[in-house]
Structure 1
Amino acid sequence: MKYHLFEVFGIELEYMLVDSSTGRIKPAVDELMKLKTGQLVSDVDNGAIEWSNELAAHVIELKTNGPTKDLNQLDLEFHKNILEINKLLKLKEMVLWPTASHPLMNPDLEMKLWEHSYSDVYALYNRIFDCKGHGWSNVQSMHINLPFYDDLEFEKLHAAVRLILPILPALSASSPILDRKNTGFKDARMNMYLTNQQQIPEMTGKVIPEQVFTQHDYQIKIFDPINTAIAPYDKENILEHHFLNSRGAIARFDRNAIEIRVLDLQECPLADISISCFIVEVLKELVDEVHSSLIDQKSWHENDLFDILETTICQAEGATVINEKYLKVLGINSESMRVSSIWTHLFERVSHRMDKRHQDAIGLILTNGSLSTRILEAIQDDYSEANILRVYKHLENCLSTNQLFQS
């Protein structure tokens, strides 16, 4: 079934399983599935939310079970499932952790691939890319799926999504620490994303999708080069181009949706869904051409947008955009502006259309900084294992209570 712009939504959230006492990675999603169903399965239909395995055996994905029309109460549905999962995991002395990366994980020693259904695909990825690195095994994200009905709607939505991708890490960065060290990147997950598939650069491109605005052009300029590049590695034609496309937003013509993939997972569903609602309202303004025309929005080359993305991956909300033309297309008259101020400006324009709970959550993020900023403030330059565990235990509690983290 096809839907029109912003008629329905799909949200995907990825969480890691850890030992409840030590905080260490537990590659045991298969055990969780058995606890829930009594048998080894890769997917669980749990009403409004579906549970699924991922490439790494310690990561579980929770997602809307089909398109949903209502974002306002969705965090409560996710939270209900998180509580159920944690109740099951308690039997095995495990618990879910949020954020986009585990600060203590050693991928060389702790990475374990999912070895059950769909394992042939994961095994092939592992042979091509060696998935033991942080960029494959230690990443959790939120994906937002937005529908389009036809090429005309795809054109508008793709133009709008491309424009805001570069500044999204300023809202969502939550991965500042790897190997017990400050990585120097507020969004280390996205920094790894830039080079994660460098053996086959056609898969990721410049992360910002190319200027393609029809299904036909997308096939020629994005899918065909991917299929050609992967062919020598995939002799049995196991892989499919919709999944191979690893840009920061991908077109899913198999379900008429664009999937936004540059967002780090937050500390609780309330934060994730609030960010989703905020993004949706900003995209509506762009699609409606309130402050800039579709022609202007389509005119942006991926290289120019990538330059902005690089700075926000590093500095998140602390980055500065020195590009008057970019600010103007967002409806802001200034020669330069910190990204935190850009989002504050956009929030002032669209917040009246958001639920009060989501307004408050975004207000906290804009006031106190991205989750990465708040995590680093709580760490206070003490990267001992004990102190890191103290902070991430606090984040564990935020997940269980569905409350935002305040350092």
Structure 2
Amino acid sequence: MKYHLFEVFGIELEYMLVNFLTGKVQPSVDKLMKLKTGKIISDVDNGPIEWSNELAAHVVEFKTNGPAKDLDTLDIKFYDNILEVNKLLNGANLRLWPTASHPLMNPELEMKLWQHSYSEVYALYNRIFDCKGHGWSNVQSMHINLPFYDDSEFEKLHAAIRILLPILPALSASSPILDGKPTGELDSRMKLYLTNQKQIPEMTGKVIPEQVFSQKEYQKKIFDPINSAIAPFDEDHILEHHFLNSRGAIARFDRNAIEIRVLDLQECALADVSIASFIVEILKDLVNEIYSSLKDQKLWHEDVLFEILNLSIEYAEEAVINNKAYLKLFGIDAESMAVKDIYKHLFEKIFSRLNKRHSEAIEFILAHGSLSTRILKALNDDFSEVNILKVYQKLGDSLSKNELFLP
């Protein structure tokens, strides 16, 4: 079934399983599935939310079980599932942890691929890319799926998403620590994303999708080069181009949706769904040409947008955009502006359209900074293993209470 713009939504949230006592990642998603259903399976239909395995055996994904009609109560539905999983895992000293990366994981030693159904696809990825690095084994994100009905709607939605994509990591960064120390980027997950598939660069491109605004054009400029590049590695034709496309927003013509993939996972479902709601309202205004015309939005080459993306990845909300023409796309007349102030400007325009709980959550983030900023503040320059685990246990508590984290 096809849907029109913003008629329905799909949200995916990825969490890591850790040992409650040690904080170490545990490749036990198969154990979780067995505790829930009595057998090891890849997907659990749990009413409005579905559970799925991921490539790494310690990562479980929760996603809307089919299109959701609205986002207003979706975080509560995710939260109910988080509580259920933590209760199931309690006897095994396991719990879910949030954020986009484990701060102490050693992927060379601790990475384990999912070994059950669909494992041949993961094994092929591992042969091509060697999935033991942080960029494959230590990443959790939120994906937002937004529908389009036809080429005309795809054109508008893809143009709007391409414009907003470069500053999304500034809102959602939650991965400042790897290997027990700050990486220098507030969004380390996205920094890894840029080079994760360097063996086949056609898969990721510049992360910002190319200027393509129809299905035919997308096939020619994005899918065909991907299919040609992967062919020597995939002799058995296991992989499919919709899954191989790894740009920061990917067109899923198999289900008439665009999937946004540049968002780090937050500390609780309330934060994730609030960010998704905020993004949706901004995109509605861009699609409706409130700030800038569709023609102007389509003019932007991915190379220019990529430069802004890099700033967001490194500095998150403190990134300063010195591009007057880009700011003008959001109705801002200024020579330069910090991304946090771009978001404050946009929030003033749309806050009344948000659910009150979501509006308050965005207000909190804009006041206290991205989760990466708050994590670093909580660590207070003490990067000892004991202190890192203490802070991340508190983040686990935020997840289990559905509360935003304040240092």
User: Shorter-chain TM-score: what band?
Assistant: over 0.9
* Equivalent residue number for residue 122 of structure 2: 122
- What secondary structure, in the 3-state scheme, does the structure 2 residue paired with 1:202 have? helix
State the AA in 2 paired with 1:158.
H
State the AA in 2 paired with 1:302.
E
Q: How does 1:205-354 map to 2 (within 5 A)?
A: 205-354=205-354
- What secondary structure, in the 3-state scheme, does the structure 1 residue paired with 2:195 have? coil
When normalised by structure 2's length, the TM-score is: 1.00
**Cα drift, residue 291 of structure 1:** 1.4
Is 1:68 the counterpart of 2:98? The answer is no
* Equivalent residue number for residue 102 of structure 1: 102
* Equivalent residue number for residue 84 of structure 1: 84
Structure-2 separation of matches of 1:157 and 1:202 = 23
**Cα drift, residue 70 of structure 1:** 1.4
State the AA in 2 paired with 1:70.
D
Structure-2 separation of matches of 1:338 and 1:106 = 34
- What secondary structure, in the 3-state scheme, does the structure 1 residue paired with 2:349 have? helix
Structure-2 separation of matches of 1:337 and 1:160 = 20
**Cα drift, residue 284 of structure 1:** 0.3
- What secondary structure, in the 3-state scheme, does the structure 2 residue paired with 1:228 have? helix
Structure-1 separation of matches of 2:38 and 2:199 = 40
- What secondary structure, in the 3-state scheme, does the structure 1 residue paired with 2:383 have? coil
**Cα drift, residue 132 of structure 1:** 0.1
**Cα drift, residue 203 of structure 1:** 0.2
State the AA in 2 paired with 1:343.
Y
State the AA in 1 paired with 2:146.
L
- What secondary structure, in the 3-state scheme, does the structure 2 residue paired with 1:331 have? coil
* Equivalent residue number for residue 369 of structure 1: 369
Q: Once the two structures are superposed, what CA deviation does each residue of 1:142-184 show, in whole Å capped at 9, x if it has no partner?
A: 0000000000000000000000000001110000000000000
Structure-2 separation of matches of 1:217 and 1:70 = 31
- What secondary structure, in the 3-state scheme, does the structure 2 residue paired with 1:41 have? coil
* Equivalent residue number for residue 355 of structure 1: 355
Q: How does 1:54-203 map to 2 (within 5 A)?
A: 54-203=54-203
**Cα drift, residue 316 of structure 1:** 0.2
* Equivalent residue number for residue 393 of structure 1: 393
**Cα drift, residue 330 of structure 1:** 1.1
- What secondary structure, in the 3-state scheme, does the structure 2 residue paired with 1:168 have? helix
State the AA in 1 paired with 2:238.
I
When normalised by structure 1's length, the TM-score is: 1.00
State the AA in 1 paired with 2:307.
D
Q: Once the two structures are superposed, what CA deviation does each residue of 1:65-116 show, in whole Å capped at 9, x if it has no partner?
A: 0000110000000000000000000021100000000001000000000000
State the AA in 2 paired with 1:3.
Y
State the AA in 1 paired with 2:250.
I
Q: How does 1:9-88 map to 2 (within 5 A)?
A: 9-88=9-88
State the AA in 2 paired with 1:278.
F
State the AA in 1 paired with 2:318.
G
Percent identity for Structure 1 against Structure 2: 72
State the AA in 2 paired with 1:55.
L
Structure-2 separation of matches of 1:57 and 1:261 = 20
Aligned residues: 407
| 5+ residue gaps, structure 1 | none
Superposed structure 1 runs of 4+ greater than 4 Å apart: none
State the AA in 2 paired with 1:357.
R
- What secondary structure, in the 3-state scheme, does the structure 1 residue paired with 2:105 have? coil
- What secondary structure, in the 3-state scheme, does the structure 2 residue paired with 1:194 have? helix
Structure-1 separation of matches of 2:349 and 2:70 = 21
Structure-1 separation of matches of 2:203 and 2:319 = 27
State the AA in 1 paired with 2:192.
M
* Equivalent residue number for residue 3 of structure 1: 3
Structure-1 separation of matches of 2:42 and 2:103 = 27
State the AA in 2 paired with 1:21.
L
| 5+ residue gaps, structure 2 | none
Structure-2 separation of matches of 1:83 and 1:119 = 28
State the AA in 1 paired with 2:60.
I
Structure-1 separation of matches of 2:305 and 2:385 = 38
State the AA in 2 paired with 1:167.
I
**Cα drift, residue 36 of structure 1:** 0.1
Q: Once the two structures are superposed, what CA deviation does each residue of 1:14-42 show, in whole Å capped at 9, x if it has no partner?
A: 00000000000100000000000001100
Pairwise CA RMSD = 0.4
Structure-2 separation of matches of 1:230 and 1:40 = 31
Structure-2 separation of matches of 1:368 and 1:329 = 26
Q: Once the two structures are superposed, what CA deviation does each residue of 1:355-376 show, in whole Å capped at 9, x if it has no partner?
A: 1101110001001100000000
